[in-house]
Structure 1
């Protein structure tokens, strides 16, 4: 498992239990792996945050959820997530929206509203907060000819 990619202590422990390794032996093995640097949850969390934000376009909320599923402690996850600040999150959300807008034809106000709803939904599924998602979509559509009041009130927090 360690040759494919970095793993958390939790992931390795679960795999050892699945293979029938006694808990006390698994604990000793995991302690030794930690001691020699084969597992490092802090380094794993940092690399995971960078990778999932940059390559998958996920927001902090979605990445935090993934880290919890992988058994990373909340404190370690919170520290790793500080690498993605509000500005970086908004910038990545805008890149995702711009990429989607290249494949969409924006007609009248009704069509723009539908596109806006889809884009906000896409960002929400990727873990972006509502205020960031709505603000980024609103700005992007305004640059593509949408009227200021067409998409509703400017603040959604």
Structure 2
């Protein structure tokens, strides 16, 4: 049998083909930027800052990134105000987050203070109070047999981590416990302010860092993406 010689059977590229490959122009950075933005926006809405970060990580020059982001803003494909309003609506309804936590999440996504303030006008004090009580009542149903003092600490901490003020958290939990059979005596006998102070420090310190899941919501969005529970 004739031994096959190395390289035999392979078609050699012509000089023209080699020249064409050598002169292929580099990819257009603005087209690359458009493709990246469109791909990300097809998954969920994004803020301008989120897209700018993605373009920077992909090595798109600042000048080209800015040009594409400006154009997409002009045609409404990037709208931080609309993003913020949708975020507030979905995160409040889906996870019961209050204004404090929502503001933190939006700041983390690069939304400016003006857009955040406008979005948060959707939530007034009564709306927050109603949601806080619903959260507490729901959690209390799974706390049968838990001592009132322990329940108080856990519930105040839960509300603090979701961005509710300490005053609203204490009032809401106090009222919920007063309505629970057998716990009304605890509310009458215990100094609620002192107890709140004893748990408020840790709870509020935790809330400053955000909800436990807030750091992982980069993939979440107002379009109903996956959320932590």
TM range (shorter): over 0.9
Q: Indicate yes or no: 2:178 matched with 1:139.
A: no
TM-score, normalization by structure 2? 0.64
Of structures 1 and 2, the larger Rg is shown by 2
Tell me the residue number matched to 1:116.
152
Alignment counterpart, residue 102 of structure 2, candidates 58, 63, 76: 63
Alignment counterpart, residue 73 of structure 2, candidates 34, 53, 60: 34
How much is the aligned-residue C-alpha RMSD, in angstroms?
1.7
Inter-partner Cα distance in structure 1 for 2:190 and 2:129: 19
Q: Which string of whole-angstrom CA distances, capped at 9 and with x for unpartnered residues, describes residues 65-100 of structure 1?
A: 000000000111011011111111111111110110
1:151, CA displacement in angstroms? 4.2
1:143, CA displacement in angstroms? 0.3
Inter-partner Cα distance in structure 1 for 2:119 and 2:84: 6
Inter-partner Cα distance in structure 1 for 2:129 and 2:85: 19
Inter-partner Cα distance in structure 2 for 1:113 and 1:129: 20
Q: Indicate yes or no: 2:163 matched with 1:93.
A: no
1:150, CA displacement in angstroms? 3.4
Inter-partner Cα distance in structure 2 for 1:115 and 1:73: 37
Q: Where do 5+ consecutive residues of structure 1 fail to align? A: none
1:15, CA displacement in angstroms? 0.3
Q: Where do 5+ consecutive residues of structure 2 fail to align? A: 1-39, 198-229
Tell me the residue number matched to 1:79.
118
Alignment CA distance shift 1:134-1:37 (3 Å): same
Matched residues, number: 154
TM-score, normalization by structure 1? 0.92
Inter-partner Cα distance in structure 1 for 2:170 and 2:44: 35
Q: Indicate yes or no: 2:45 matched with 1:6.
A: yes
1:149, CA displacement in angstroms? 2.2
Q: Counterpart of 2:95 in 1: which secondary structure?
A: coil
1:106, CA displacement in angstroms? 4.0
Q: Which string of whole-angstrom CA distances, capped at 9 and with x for unpartnered residues, describes residues 104-131 of structure 1?
A: 1146xxx101101100000001110001
